[in-house]
Amino acid sequence: MIYLDYSANTPVDPAVLDIYCKTELAYIANPNSTHCAGQAARAEMARVTESIASQLGVQPAEIIYTSGASEANNLALKGIAQVSRHIGKHIISTQLEHSSVGASLSVLQQQGYEIDLLNVNRDGKADLAQLRELLRKDTILVAVCAVDSEIGTVQPVKEIAEIVKQYPDCRLHVDATQAVGKTDLWFDGVDTMSFTAHKFYGPNGIGALYKRRGLVIEPQISGGASTTIYRSGTPTLGLAAALEASLTKALAEQPQRIAHVQHLHDRLAAALQAYPEVRFNSPAGAVPHILNVSVNGIKATRFQQALSEQGVCVSVKSACSSDGMPSKAVFAVSRDRRNALSSWRISLSHLTTDEEIDGFLAAFDTCYHQLLQKEN
């Protein structure tokens, strides 16, 4: 098997898994218990949280543990909207957001909130001129993804934050799910930011929401003590420790990992350029980890299945997107619905080898000629 779907899920690092297991065995008590075992667990949870915060350049009190980025996005968007409804009900986002953002916005829209979606330029970036035009006194939230999961566009978070700062009652949420370990994070002017361990070689089931200190949001889970008033539930110390370990490695090894992935990306792009019917959808400046392509006239699901039969794993859109619909991100940059229906994503890792790229290219060549022959 050749796995090229690392943007959907990454394998847990064995060293990270070992830390999870050791932590779970060493700290058996609830960190909120007042006895000596609980106090030991609470002290370790505090150490872990301080380490995570230090690496991100934020304060420990600004870290909220969640089950993943989807929960973190829900908590941020709904939590901000609900406490700000006395100010206004206008929210701005983009067409590129993850389904957990899009669905949260739909729920809020049903509750009377007004949602505006920014246009996306041909480079995959949100239209900042339109953002300036849409912002108004009753705008309470702007939500953008730092890195698009389908085409890899890096959004100008710094510039967006500068624009939003001019509206004191407006909050900025950044979905950094695809950004950690792939590009530098920007916190200045950001009110909330979501991420999850399973995108950078940690376990599934643990994510976090950065919430700027002093910002009040409405909790989405009622009852049950935790490390914060904003997210109830027994603190998951083992998972938090695993998040810390995977984040530490992702940030420390980021330059070397990116260099290796860039090498693989360049090899892939150069080889695929030789095929006349291949179209590249990822814009210049996208993270090298994501390469979105289309084969003219061949639906993405057909090409994905053909590659899967050859033992190659790629994805059609985000793993959390609806089947049978064109990629919103690819349609936004290409303005071509047929092309968006033909688009699929190769996502690379520092674990990917040159031999696997060789294997992928051999499988691609077979599928390319077979499928085009059937069409003709």
The full set of domain ranges for the chain reads 2-9+253-375, 14-251
DSSP class of 283: P
Q: Count other Cβ atoms within 10 Å, centred on residue 274.
A: 9
pLDDT greater than 90 at residue 218 = yes
Residue 260: predicted pLDDT: 98
The structure tokens 């969640």 sit at 66
pLDDT greater than 90 at residue 366 = yes
Among the listed residues 95, 286, 33, 71, the one whose alpha carbon sits nearest the alpha carbon of residue 192: 71
CA distance 174 to 146: 6
Q: Give the mean pLDDT of 212-220.
A: 95
Residue 229: predicted pLDDT: 87
CA distance 319 to 71: 16
Q: What is the mean pLDDT of the chain?
A: 94
Q: Looking at the domain 2-9+253-375, which fold is it? A: Aspartate Aminotransferase, domain 1 (3.90.1150)
Annotated active-site residue 320? The verdict is yes
Residue 356: predicted pLDDT: 98
CA distance 181 to 259: 12
pLDDT greater than 80 at residue 224 = no
pLDDT greater than 90 at residue 324 = no
The structure tokens 């049950």 sit at 224
Q: Give the mean pLDDT of 205-234.
A: 90
Query: pLDDT: is 2 or 122 the higher one?
Result: 2
pLDDT greater than 80 at residue 375 = no
pLDDT band at 333 (very low <50, low <70, confident <90, very high): confident
Q: Report pLDDT digits (tens) over 98-124.
A: 999 999 999 999 999 999 999 999 899
Answer yes or no: CATH 3.40.640.10 is held by domain 14-251.
yes
Residue 318: predicted pLDDT: 52
Contact 69, 207 (CB under 8 A): yes
Angle between helices 254-272 and 354-375 (to 10 degrees): 30
The structure tokens 């702007």 sit at 142
Q: Give the mean pLDDT of 264-272.
A: 98
Residues in the chain: 376
pLDDT greater than 60 at residue 323 = no
Query: pLDDT: is 74 or 122 the higher one?
Result: 74
Q: Give the mean pLDDT of 214-220.
A: 94
Q: Give the mean pLDDT of 259-282.
A: 97
Among the listed residues 312, 308, 292, the one whose alpha carbon sits nearest the alpha carbon of residue 357: 312
Query: pLDDT: is 366 or 373 the higher one?
Result: 366
**Catalytic site residue from 36, 145, 313, 320:** 320
- Kind of pairing, strands 192-196 and 171-175? parallel
CA distance 46 to 296: 53
Q: Which two tokens stand for residue 321?
A: 């997107």
pLDDT greater than 60 at residue 188 = yes
Residue 329: predicted pLDDT: 86
Region of residue 330 (phi > 0: left; psi between -120 and 50: alpha; otherwise: beta): alpha
219 φ, ψ (degrees, to nearest 5): -60, 150
Q: Give the mean pLDDT of 136-156.
A: 97
CA distance 324 to 341: 8
Residue 374: predicted pLDDT: 77
Q: Of all helices (H) and strands (E), which one includes residue 194?
A: strand 192-196
